Amino acid sequence: MTERNEYLLAHLTPRDLQERGIDTAILPIGATEYHGNHLPYSTDTIMAEGLSLRLARELETAVREFGLRGLNLQCFEHRLAVDDRRMYPLYAKCVELDIPVNVHVGVNFSLKSSPDYGRPEMLDRVLCDFPELRACAAPPGWPWVMDLLSVAWRHPNLWIGLIAVRPRLLTVENSGYGALLQYGRTLLKDRIIWGSAYPMMPIQRTLDEVRALPLEQEVADRWLGGNAREFLRL
């Protein structure tokens, strides 16, 4: 945690405010709220930062001792934005360890979390702050597919995972996935990664649907393995 600042509400307790006669404050958006008279208003943030740092240390152990090849983040399950600063120690550790991160992008169907946690622009901000971070956005961003494609165009270190979606939908009019096929076989042909989503979908069916797409053989081969090998540096 940063050094205590006597002018920041997040660093103060209710007793501090009472003793100093402070009656006005500028409140930020975030985890700054009352936790009793003896705890700072930023208690939630302090705990989250501590957990993130601990997870970063455990990630290093998993990579160096157990051979982990990447990190998977489903931030919506924890009601965290992808670009939440509490996630940054994990991104920094991925860069340090030279491993990629897979990030859920697109709508989620949990009624206990907001779909906004899957918006592509959040990942764009992360990649601006961590230009060396290799990332894969999966699922492929629906209903913000065009937004995700623009982020991938901006960042050569972003791949898109064709996962948890029927590949045949890329050829279905008004499905919202058509642009994935257009850009995935041209500008971004080196950065589409097929995933089976098993057991959600039968592996053979999704393979067959990819092979049935109007793709050149070289592009299909990249989608079905070549791009993943480059992403994981296998």
So what's the pLDDT on residue 30? Answer: 46
In a domain, 175, yes or no: yes
Whether the pLDDT of residue 6 is over 60: the answer is: yes
DSSP-derived 3-state class of residue 90: helix
The reported pTM is 0.77
In a domain, 30, yes or no: no
In a domain, 52, yes or no: no
Range of the domain at 173: 68-232
In a domain, 32, yes or no: no
In a domain, 135, yes or no: yes
Whether the pLDDT of residue 78 is over 50: the answer is: yes
Asked if 139 and 163 count as a contact pair (C-beta separation under 8 A), the reply is yes
Considering only CA atoms, which of 79, 142, 74 is closest in space to residue 112?
79
Q: Show the CA angle centred on residue 45, arms to residues 73 and 124, nearest 5°.
A: 40
Tally of structural domains, the chain:
1
pLDDT digits (tens, 9 = 90+) for 182-224: 999 999 999 999 998 888 889 999 999 999 999 999 999 999 9
Task: Tell me which of 12-26, 74-88, 135-149, 214-228 is least confident.
Answer: 12-26
In a domain, 38, yes or no: no
pLDDT digits (tens, 9 = 90+) for 154-186: 999 999 999 999 999 999 999 999 999 999 999
In a domain, 195, yes or no: yes
Domain CATH code at residue 158: 3.20.20.140
d(CA 186, CA 188): 6
In a domain, 191, yes or no: yes
